Amino acid sequence: MTDEVPKYCWSCPKREMFERAGRECPSSPRVKAELRRTILGSLSSMTPEVRRQKSLLIVKHLLELPEFKRAGVVMAYVAMEMEVDPWSLIREAWALGKRVAMPRVHPSLENPQLPEDHDLELLALELHEELVDDPQDHSGLRPDVMGILEPKTSAAEIPIAEIDLVVVPCVAFDRQGWRLGRGGGFYDRFLSREDLRAASCGLAFSEQVFSTLPQCPHDRAVDIVTTESGVLRADRGG
């Protein structure tokens, strides 16, 4: 038995209106959860080889962006299953002499003293160059309690203001740059940081890009989305 997914997000300004009318918010966590399941289900048929080839094409488009070329510090991620794999981007960034930051959840989910109402955030920790073909083989990474690779606690933190480009994973993006993630809100909080001056670029397979997505007041959009088909610069009407 699973907990019921709420019909309203905590930041919904129209929550009382929807409740009085007996209606569900069209951007509710439940709606997003169903959409998330549908999209991930459709991606499950993609073979590892197709995912690898598409990921290389997506990274190729990103490498051509002026935002990447002028960046001194690039923040990326280690892909989960069914996400675009940016490892070739990380390798190229090192080859060009750029610094690479990776996200780590703080405080650690492994902390047994962590209260249920804890407020988690992403830290940007530096990942030093190692010429390995698989991030699983990088000595500076370790799996967290959910099996996601992240930097070890001994890694140096990079000040947010020093990051020039943030590369963001997704379940889906729309053409305005709005993002559907996995529901934790980590990147929404990170992208809303006042000290973050970086451009943001989402990586997505073409199957993950939609005309519009449901959005809440606390959601944060990216500036650019790259797919295997090319580059999409977000247009949010100015």
- Direct distance between the N- and C-terminal alpha carbons of the chain, in angstroms, rounded to an integer: 45
In the CATH scheme, what is the homologous superfamily, with its name and number, of domain 15-233? NagB/RpiA/CoA transferase-like (3.40.50.10420)
Quick one: residue 84, left, alpha or beta (phi over 0 = left, psi -120 to 50 = alpha)? beta
**218 with 119: CB under 8 angstroms?**
no
Phi, psi at 74, each rounded to 5°: -115, 130
**198 with 220: CB under 8 angstroms?**
no
Locate the domains of the chain by residue range. Answer: 15-233
Best CA proximity match to 205, nearest among 50, 89, 52, 54 = 54
Q: For the whole model, what pTM was predicted?
A: 0.83
How far apart (Å, rounded) are the C-alpha atoms in residues 234 and 238? 10
Q: Percent of the chain beyond pLDDT 70?
A: 79
Sign for the CA dihedral angle at 156, 157, 163, 166 comes to: positive
Per-residue pLDDT of the chain (238 residues; tens, 9 = 90+): 334 444 445 455 555 555 555 555 555 677 778 888 888 888 889 999 999 999 999 999 999 999 999 999 999 999 988 899 999 999 999 999 999 999 988 755 554 444 444 456 788 999 999 988 889 889 999 887 667 888 888 889 999 999 999 999 989 999 999 988 876 778 888 999 999 999 999 999 999 998 888 777 777 899 999 999 999 998 755 5
Rg (CA), the chain: 18
Burial class (CB in 10 A: 0-12, 13-18, 19+), 27: middle
Tell me the C-alpha to C-alpha distance, in Å, between residue 87 and each of 10, 128, 135, 188, 236: 35, 13, 7, 23, 30
Q: What is the pLDDT of residues 101-131, one digit of tens each?
A: 999 887 555 544 444 444 567 889 999 999 8
